[in-house]
Structure 1
Amino acid sequence: MENKTFTISVYSENNVGLLNRISGIFLKRHINILSLNVSESEIENVSRFIIVVDTTEKWVQNIVGQIEKQIEVIKAFYHVDDETIFLENALFKIDSSLLFDERQIQNIIKESNSEIVTVSRKFFVISKSGRRSEIEEVHEKLKPFGIMQFVRSGRISVSKEPMEISTLLQELNINKY
């Protein structure tokens, strides 16, 4: 089996220590986490982890099974890139003098569909959302001008097909009573 990029979605209660236990599952298998994002989900009081890994389908199935054994985990899913809509966000902090002295920077911002989110006397900040390759392209174009700071978020994604998590939660609530 060949390695592919998988996006794992984990719906869970928001408990201390869960992230540590989940990362331990990857550590034991020597699988590197390429990207990690944790936020609230579409369901009240339920968190969603988005974990991106490069591995085989057999390993990702095994990992998802181990994750689901964690008591706080409600359900975990995995998808290949074609089954999701995803992007990342990045911020670039650049010296303010360049915004007015280097016309090429304005062109980079416009051509890459980036936006300026703040301007001060000493720096300005560019925001870029998109695929990792698009962000890397902007990074390469801005690098010769000097990037003061750079940060990129983990992947955020939604599946193209329903994951039926809301139905599952409704069934669990009905079965409680």
Structure 2
Amino acid sequence: MSVHKHVLSVTVRDQPGVLMRIAGLFARRGFNIESLSVAQSEIPGISRTTFTVSGEDATIEQVQKQLQKLIDVLKVIDHSEAKFVDRELMLIKVAVRSPEERVELRQVAQDFRARIVDVHRDALVFEVTGDEGKMDAFIEQMRPFGILELIRTGRVALTRSAADSKVTGRPTVKAA
């Protein structure tokens, strides 16, 4: 069996401890969560969690089945099974040593549709959004200039098909 990267979206009720139980399930299986993103969904009281993990397909399928059994989990989608759209956000601070470098950095940013969000005499901070490949390529372009700091959000993903998007049934949400 071969190891593949999987992007899993888990739709859950907003309840204390849900993320810990989900992450614990991955930990017990020996998976390293490569990326993690959690935020409110379009339904109040419901969040969507996106995990990127690598593993054998059969093992990931077992994890999905175990996730479905958790009480606050409403839906699990393995995006590797259908077409999907994914994005990340990255902030990256790059050293600027000369006016010529500043011009060159601005040109690279324009090529990647990156935004300059902070300007200092000796550094620029860029905001970049896109898929994993775009993030990696931008980082490689910035390395020669000197990356001072970098942070990336976890991947977020949605299936392209409307049929695969809906949370089945009307979820019950406890009032606060």
User: How far off is 1:81 after superposition?
Assistant: 7.3
Q: Mark the runs of 5 or more structure 2 residues left unpaired by the alignment.
A: none
1:92-171 map, 5 Å: 92-95=92-95, 98=98, 100-102=99-101, 103-121=103-121, 123-161=123-161, 162-166=163-167, 168-170=168-170
Aligned amino acid, residue 36 of structure 1: L
Partner of 1:49: 49
Amino acid at match of 1:130: G
CA distance in 1, matches of 2:81, 2:4: 9
Distance 1:164 1:108 in 2: 36
Instruction: Please list the CA deviations of residues 15-52 of structure 1 after superposition, one character each: whole Å capped at 9, or x if unmatched.
Output: 22111111111111112211110011122210100011
Amino acid in the other structure paired with 2:166? I
Unaligned runs of 5+ in 1: none
The letter for the 2-side match of 1:163 is D
Runs of 4 or more above 6 Å deviation: none
- Secondary structure in structure 1 of the residue aligned to 2:61: helix
TM-score normalised over the length of structure 1? 0.85
SS across alignment from 2:104: helix
Give yes or no for contact 1:6–1:81 (8 Å, CA) kept in 2.
no
Q: Deviations over 1:78-128 (max 9, x none)?
A: 121762111211111134665x34132122111122111222455431111
**Partner SS, residue 169 of structure 2:** helix
Cα offset, 1:150, TM superposition: 0.5
Structure 2: which amino acid aligns with 1:4? H
SS in structure 2 at match of 1:24: helix
Q: Which moved more, 1:101-110 or 1:36-45?
A: 101-110
User: What is the distance in 2 between the residues matched to 1:35 and 1:62?
Assistant: 20
Bigger proportion of residues as helix: 1
Q: Deviations over 1:146-176 (max 9, x none)?
A: 222111111011101232534x133x66xxx
Map of 1:17 onto structure 2: 17
In structure 2, the residue matched to 1:31 is 31
Q: What is the alpha-carbon distance in structure 1 between the residues aligned to residue 3 and residue 160 of structure 2?
A: 22
Corresponding position of 1:79: 79
Return the alpha-carbon distance in structure 2 between the equivalents of residues 150 and 80 of structure 1.
28
Aligned-residue CA RMSD in angstroms?
Answer: 2.0
Structure 2 distance, partners of 1:19, 1:44, is 17
Do the aligned partners of 2:82 and 2:159 also contact (CA within 8 Å) in 1?
A: no
Does structure 2 retain, via aligned residues, the 8 Å contact 1:75–1:165? no
Q: Which has the higher contact order (CA 8 A, sep 6+)?
A: 2
Aligned to 1:59: 59
User: CA contact under 8 A between 1:7 and 1:81: conserved in structure 2?
Assistant: no
Moved more, 112-121 or 153-162: 112-121
